[in-house]
Structure 1
């Protein structure tokens, strides 16, 4: 199995188009075409994790956090980032990161946290823009089904819980083929009118290449007339954070105690309790303070995340409870998520969870 094939299993759930603009998810070190001897899954790529990969004959590390967020100008081993990359290169170990693409994915990091604390009816707190396109193609009436189905088979026409969605308009297309053309219908150097169907479908950006290829292959015309439009519509199933509900409301202290156990955190920093039951829960793995206004807007009873700063706690303004469980603590189950994705398809080599705790924060 090649590195590309392993990576594809992750990107089927969390394509790189889902990542935020500041992020650096993807293959950071290594060659897509290399054979895989073993996979080691971690939260952070560190020198110790590379050593663990070497010891277990794993030549692919899959991490949540990218070891590189910005470009390197020198590679001298002067800091942990440079040393980690140098050690990986010297030992032919590839490093891949699935970060905000996996955070934003439907069934990704935030859904794993929600599963741990028993939330249902989950959806993104803020759905993501810029992922949808409208593809419009014109084809002869008798070939419309073939072209439409070819696009459907490659992922076009999905809207929420519906598939194979399209809008079709019948009309007339005109053209005049020149001497160098090989027209499917009509004669060279003569104007021709053909009954055609205008097919309109929605396509996610990461599927666009495959859908276009299928459209061109199935279409009978030598020159395919089509329009491609970038949409501002949000992809409602993909986005930042998560909002969900408990099956039954519960008092604040009991809920916080349950979270401490379920999410295996040593400390929860929280705002004043509001003396009301917890039912509606907002959360975000990692650093989610930017989502606080949205959690308040949707009337969440509590917002669980990490990395809140001192003055940001005041922003709760007794409208919501902020529960900061720690960055590492909120994302530690991402390793399980990646592991579960891979073992469903991989049987011919080892997939391991790193045993190294890479949390840089300790509590006394």
Structure 2
């Protein structure tokens, strides 16, 4: 990035990792408080936006807070400055601190919260536990003179088209002839006004997720030499990439439930956790869902999980899992704090560190204590 970096620039970088369309419709992600256009010199990453976190941001001259949990999760009927939420919003505005949330979109994203948890726990060969979004694919065909085929092909590929699995720049090209007649008022790249022109052209075909289509077309048109680029769009029935919350995978080798529980406690840096099931039983297939995942015990069991690691497990749901033979490890909701270091690393890799400093909040937002 060059020049003054503003909030919207940081938001764009975050949304390249965790696009907002991956968020559930009941969620509230993106800008919470502040302005898209405020300049940014210091960013602080946190799990939650509490009073102690905002005080820390003020003390550290932070311009932007990036949080996992939305500050404004439920609609506010009023901003009552006598309430804790109202006082918090006033403090943010008084100190010109903006707040941005990346929540269920960061849960679902590649390399997001659930993938981080799996990496820390050495859970491998993972699949999505609960699919929440599948990309719609569009086939785009563009007709271009031979002189610009590589330029246009690269413009499409670099804007997100032509990616299939682990391959990029996937296109098909066929030769043909295009005809056109430039009319009055045109300034044709090839040909003369009021004369029919026949040009040897290449048809470049590729696919692109629908959410990246506009950017790809803009890039293609900019790279195309003609005043009016000719292209076709075809919606496809082929399913695109799927995204979702939670992961299910396997450990490198079987371990006892007790050993796995101790690893969770150590790797996620927590003082205690709750476990259901036979602690001596050997387990290998593990489902993980950061945050509150008790609604999905049936899904975890159906996919063959021996153990389900998730937070906020209630008494009767834990009993149900126990009865169906699914062990549960509840390390608490707060283990989503793993997103703090990962987000800092990601931002440092994708923005100019000389211009923007990214720090991690040191405030403890875990409400529970173990005695």
- Report if TM-score (shorter chain) is over 0.5: yes
2:363 corresponds in structure 1 to: 356
1:312 corresponds in structure 2 to: 317
1:120 corresponds in structure 2 to: 124
How far apart are 1:10 and its partner, in Å?
Answer: 2.6
2:332 corresponds in structure 1 to: 326
RMSD, matched Cα: 2.9
Matched, 1:166 2:171: yes
Conserved? CA contact 1:18–1:131, under 8 Å: no
How far apart are 1:152 and its partner, in Å?
Answer: 1.0
Matched, 1:339 2:344: yes
1:256 is paired with a residue of what secondary structure?
helix
Q: Deviations over 1:96-139 (max 9, x none)?
A: 11212211111111122122222233343344534343141230
How far apart are 1:285 and its partner, in Å?
Answer: 0.8
Classify 1:170/1:316 alpha carbon distance in 2 versus 1 (closer, same or farther; 3 Å): farther
2:43 corresponds in structure 1 to: 39
How far apart are 1:209 and its partner, in Å?
Answer: 3.4
Show the 5 A alignment for 1:246-261. Answer: 246-261=251-266
1:108 corresponds in structure 2 to: 112
- Equivalent of 2:204 in 195, 199, 204: 199
Cα distance in 1, alignment partners of residues 94 and 81 from structure 2: 12
2:47 is paired with a residue of what secondary structure?
strand
How far apart are 1:185 and its partner, in Å?
Answer: 5.3
1:32 is paired with a residue of what secondary structure?
coil
Show the 5 A alignment for 1:43-82. Answer: 43-82=47-86
Conserved? CA contact 1:274–1:318, under 8 Å: no
Matched, 1:87 2:94: no
1:25 corresponds in structure 2 to: 29
Q: Which runs of 4+ in 1 moved over 6 A?
A: 189-193
2:245 corresponds in structure 1 to: 240
Classify 1:315/1:247 alpha carbon distance in 2 versus 1 (closer, same or farther; 3 Å): closer
Cα distance in 1, alignment partners of residues 165 and 355 from structure 2: 35
| Unpaired stretches in structure 2, ≥5 consecutive residues | none
1:268 corresponds in structure 2 to: 273
Which is further off, 101-110 or 239-248? 239-248
Conserved? CA contact 1:129–1:234, under 8 Å: no
- Equivalent of 1:217 in 212, 217, 222: 222
| Unpaired stretches in structure 1, ≥5 consecutive residues | none
Classify 1:229/1:26 alpha carbon distance in 2 versus 1 (closer, same or farther; 3 Å): farther
Cα distance in 2, alignment partners of residues 79 and 199 from structure 1: 59
Q: Deviations over 1:270-321 (max 9, x none)?
A: 3333864222221011122344343223322211111233333315643432
Q: TM-score, normalised by structure 2?
A: 0.85
